[in-house]
Chain A
């Protein structure tokens, strides 16, 4: 059974940092791209970042470029998102999702339950 499980969310002050993790199981991790999508309270979905199956190609939304870094560790079947220079408007539930192919971005067929990041002083 395919599963992805996020962790690492929490309360952080503006300007602070946080690292999100997403543990994947039930599939060959390196054969699929992965993505982070966020949802601010009461709002719609916003794509944040994607990474190819091998980890060599990454993509970012302009709103997070230069502040967030996506990476993956195939030895641990884990996806990461490093969040730096956090702003109040980064407050959201962050979802980890599996892409449908090995390339950079695609439809997202399996989603975790999300982890809440709150940026507040």
Chain B
């Protein structure tokens, strides 16, 4: 099983600041089959990034994904008020599909 470790567990930032979230895999995620999701309280997750760096439909360009192998990053270039949420990474290169434990981005 590929274990995804997200860091930090929480991040306290102000609107307009840059957020950098990390997702480290216990084994290589070949073909970059890695996605990022945003979840707000009481809501379903929303797909932001797939294949490590491709933005999903309708996702603003302030969200970007990068990385390969075992180290992946989600960057939010300038935080908007609606971006404060929990973010999860997911690998779908091999079974079982696994999610990271999440990073909570909080308003400072």
- Contact assessment for B47 and A108 in the assembled complex, using a CB-CB cutoff below 8 Å: yes
A109's nearest neighbour on chain B, judged by CB, is B47
- Contact assessment for A44 and B44 in the assembled complex, using a CB-CB cutoff below 8 Å: no
A35 to B57, CA, bound (A): 19
Interface bits A98-121 vs B (CB < 8 Å: 1, else 0):
001000011111111110000000
Residues of B within 8 A of A109 (CB): 47, 50, 56-57
- Contact assessment for A105 and B44 in the assembled complex, using a CB-CB cutoff below 8 Å: no
Interface residues on A, range: 20 to 34
Interface bits B87-102 vs A (CB < 8 Å: 1, else 0):
0101010011111111
A2's nearest neighbour on chain B, judged by CB, is B57
Interface bits B37-65 vs A (CB < 8 Å: 1, else 0):
10100011111001100001100000000
- Contact assessment for B95 and A100 in the assembled complex, using a CB-CB cutoff below 8 Å: no
- Contact assessment for A111 and B99 in the assembled complex, using a CB-CB cutoff below 8 Å: no
| SS of A interface (majority) | strand
Determine whether B74 belongs to the interface, using a CB cutoff of 8 Å to chain A. no
A107 to B97, CA, bound (A): 10
A37 to B95, CA, bound (A): 14
Q: Give the Cβ gap from A15 to chain B, nearest Cβ, in Å.
A: 25
Residues of A within 8 A of B100 (CB): 44
A112 to B46, CA, bound (A): 10
Determine whether B35 belongs to the interface, using a CB cutoff of 8 Å to chain A. yes
- Contact assessment for A111 and B95 in the assembled complex, using a CB-CB cutoff below 8 Å: no
- Contact assessment for A45 and B96 in the assembled complex, using a CB-CB cutoff below 8 Å: no
A110 to B43, CA, bound (A): 13
- Contact assessment for A45 and B99 in the assembled complex, using a CB-CB cutoff below 8 Å: yes
Q: Give the Cβ gap from B43 to chain A, nearest Cβ, in Å.
A: 8
Contact A44/B90 with A59-B95, A62-B96, A105-B95 known, Cβ cut-off 8 Å: no
Q: List B residues at the A interface (Cβ < 8 Å).
A: 33, 35, 37, 39, 43-47, 50-51, 56-57, 88, 90, 92, 95-102
